[in-house]
C-alpha cells in the first residue's frame, strides 16, 4: 500500500483466524525472520509467471512500539547491522510506521509491521502484497488511493454487503452454474450501487486497481489449496463487514475473490489488465455475465437469498448513529474553535478500516500520524483531512508549551521555528513559521 497504509491486512492476519504455526521454534527473532524471508523468497520465485517477474525484494519488518527493524537487505547508509542472514537496526522517529512502500536510506522497501501472522499463507499474503506496491509502477499501475464516501452511506454499504454475500456463495458453489448465478447476482448488486452513485464506478475502480490487485497478488503467491482459499475468503468477509467503515478497505475483498474465481479458467487474467481497465466491466466480460436491463427489479427479487432484510435493518440502525457522529465532528472541526495545519512535505499513516466522510469537508481519521517539515502530529481521537489533502484540522489546543502543543486526543511536536497562534477574529488556531525556519 502507499503511505496511507495497509492496516487492514494486518488486522485480518492477527485477529481473524487464531491459527498457529506448527513445528517451528526459533531461539532468536533473527532466526525467525530469516526463515520468513526465505519462505517469501521461495513463494515469489514459484509465482514468477503471475507477473512475469520475481518480485522478491527489500523488506523492512518494524516493531511499532520499539521501532526495531529487521530486514533482508542492507540499507545504503549503513544503519542496519548484519546478524546472520538478517539486518537489524532502529527506525528514526520521523519515519512513519505502517504496512506500506517506503523509501529509506537509499532503498525502496516493503515495510510491514510486526508481529507477522503466525499462519504461513497469511504471512506470505501480507508480505507479497507490500512487495507488489514496490513493483507496481514498473508494472504500469500508479498508486491511486481515492476515497469512496458512498461506502459510508446506507445504500452504498447495503449493496456492497449484498455483493459480498453473493460473492461468498459463488466461492462456496459446488457447480459452475451455481457459481455463475451467484456471480451474476453479485454484479447486479454492484450495478445497483453504481446506479445510485454513478461516480463510484470510477473511484472504486481506482482503489481496486491499487489495493485489489496488490491483495490478489499476495493471495496467489501464498499458494493456498482450494479448501484453504474458500475458508480464507469466508473468514475475511466475516471480519470485513464488522469494520467501522468500508471506504478504503473494500478492495481487499472484492478483487482477490473475483480474481481467484477467474483464474480457474484464465490463470493469468491479471496480465490483461492495465491502468485504463475498468475491472467491473472486465470481470463481467470475462465471466460471460449478462446484466439484465431491469436489474433494479431483479435485485428486489433476489436480495432475500443474501440476508437482505437483516443487512438493511443493520444499516438503517447504523445510519442513525453515523448521523450523530457526523454532527459531533462538524462541531469539533468546523463550528467550534480548532487548529488548522497546512502541509508542506507531508508523510502520513492511518488505519484504512476506520475513515468517516464528513460531507464535502473531507474525511475524519480517528487515528493518524503525520510527519512534515513542521514536526510530528499524532492523533488518537479524530482529525479532519481536507478533500485535497493539503491541510488537516484538529480540535482547539489545551496546552501549548516548549514546542509541544496538545489537545483532546492529539499531540503536535513542533520543529524549532514553528509555533501555533490564535486568530483573534474567529478564535481558530493556525501554524506559523518564522522566516528562515524549517525546510
How far apart (Å, rounded) are the C-alpha atoms in residues 81 and 75? 9
308's grid cell: 437482505
Sign of CA dihedral 297, 298, 301, 306: negative
Q: What is the pLDDT of residue 218?
A: 98
Tell me: pLDDT of 393 over 60. yes
For 183-227, write each residue's pLDDT tens digit.
Answer: 999 999 999 999 999 999 999 999 999 999 999 999 999 999 999
Do the beta carbons of residue 187 and residue 298 sit within 8 Å?
no
Q: What is the pLDDT of residue 254?
A: 98
Q: How confident is the model at residue 15 (pLDDT cuts 50, 70, 90)?
A: very low
For 215-252, write each residue's pLDDT tens digit.
Answer: 999 999 999 999 999 999 999 999 999 999 999 999 99
How far apart (Å, rounded) are the C-alpha atoms in residues 187 and 180? 11
Do the beta carbons of residue 254 and residue 363 sit within 8 Å?
no
DSSP state at residue 247: T
Do the beta carbons of residue 19 and residue 118 sit within 8 Å?
yes
Tell me: pLDDT of 109 over 60. yes
Q: Which of 203, 184, 291 is nearest to 246 (CA)?
A: 203
243's grid cell: 469494520
For 158-182, write each residue's pLDDT tens digit.
Answer: 999 999 999 999 999 999 999 999 9
Q: How confident is the model at residue 12 (pLDDT cuts 50, 70, 90)?
A: very low
Tell me: pLDDT of 6 over 90. no
Tell me: pLDDT of 437 over 80. no
Coil, strand, or helix at residue 360?
helix
Mean pLDDT of 118-136: 97
Q: What is the pLDDT of residue 25?
A: 78
- Predicted TM-score of the model (pTM): 0.87
Query: Structural domain boundaries of the chain?
Result: 7-135, 149-306, 330-433
Amino acid at each position: 500500500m502507499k503511505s496511507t497504509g495497509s492496516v487492514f491486512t494486518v488486522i485480518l492476519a492477527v485477529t481473524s483466524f487464531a491459527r498457529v504455526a506448527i513445528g517451528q521454534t526459533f531461539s532468536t527473532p533473527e532466526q525467525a525472520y530469516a526463515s520468513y524471508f526465505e519462505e517469501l523468497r521461495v513463494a515469489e520465485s514459484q509465482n514468477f509467471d503471475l507477473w512475469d517477474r520475481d518480485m522478491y525484494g527489500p523488506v523492512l519488518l518494524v516493531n511499532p512500539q520499539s521501532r526495531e527493524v529487521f530486514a533482508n537487505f542492507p540499507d545504503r547508509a549503513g544503519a542496519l547491522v548484519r546478524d546472520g542472514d538478517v539486518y537489524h537496526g532502529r527506525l528514526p522517529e520521523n519515519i512513519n510506521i505502517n504496512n506500506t512502500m517506503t523509501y529509506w536510506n537509499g532503498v525502496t522497501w516493503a515495510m510491514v509491521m510486526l508481529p507477522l501472522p503466525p499462519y504461513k499463507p497469511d504471512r506470505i499474503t501480507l508480505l507479497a502484497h507490500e512487495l507488489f506496491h514496490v513493483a507496481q509502477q514498473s508494472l504500469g499501475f500508479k498508486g491511486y488511493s481515492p476515497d469512496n464516501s458512498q461506502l459510508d452511506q446506507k445504500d452504498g454499504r447495503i449493496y456492497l454487503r449484498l455483493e459480498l454475500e453473493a460473492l461468498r456463495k459463488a466461492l462456496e458453489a459446488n457447480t459452475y452454474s451455481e457459481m455463475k448465478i451467484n456471480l451474476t447476482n453479485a454484479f447486479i448488486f454492484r450495478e445497483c450501487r453504481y446506479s445510485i452513485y454513478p461516480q463510484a464506478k470510477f473511484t472504486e475502480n481506482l482503489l481496486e486497481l491499487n489495493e485489489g490487485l496488490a491483495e490478489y497478488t499476495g493471495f496467489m503467491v501464498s499458494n493456498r489449496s482450494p479448501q484453504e482459499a474458500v475458508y480464507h475468503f469466508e473468514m475475511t468477509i466475516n471480519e470485513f463487514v464488522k469494520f467501522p467503515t468500508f471506504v478504503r478497505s473494500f478492495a481487499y475483498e472484492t478483487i482477490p475473490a473475483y480474481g481467484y474465481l477467474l483464474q480457474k479458467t484464465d490463470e493469468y487474467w491479471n496480465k490483461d489488465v492495465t491502468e485504463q481497465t475498468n475491472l467491473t466491466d472486465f470481470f463481467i466480460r470475462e465471466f460471460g455475465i449478462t446484466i439484465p436491463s431491469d436489474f433494479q427489479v431483479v435485485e428486489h427479487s433476489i436480495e432475500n437469498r443474501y440476508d437482505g432484510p437483516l443487512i438493511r435493518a443493520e444499516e438503517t440502525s447504523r445510519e442513525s448513529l453515523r448521523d450523530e457522529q457526523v454532527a459531533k465532528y462538524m462541531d469539533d472541526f468546523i463550528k467550534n474553535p480548532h487548529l488548522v495545519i497546512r502541509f508542506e512535505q507531508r508523510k502520513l499513516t492511518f488505519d484504512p478500516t476506520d475513515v468517516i466522510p464528513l460531507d464535502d469537508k473531507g474525511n475524519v481519521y480517528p487515528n493518524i500520524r503525520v510527519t512534515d517539515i513542521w514536526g510530528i502530529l499524532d492523533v488518537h481521537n479524530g482529525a479532519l483531512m481536507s478533500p485535497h489533502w493539503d491541510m488537516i484540522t484538529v480540535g482547539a489546543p489545551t496546552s501549548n508549551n516548549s514546542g509541544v502543543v496538545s489537545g483532546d486526543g492529539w499531540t503536535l511536536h513542533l520543529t524549532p521555528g514553528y509555533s501555533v497562534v490564535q486568530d483573534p477574529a474567529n478564535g481558530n488556531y493556525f501554524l506559523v513559521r518564522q522566516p528562515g525556519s524549517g525546510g
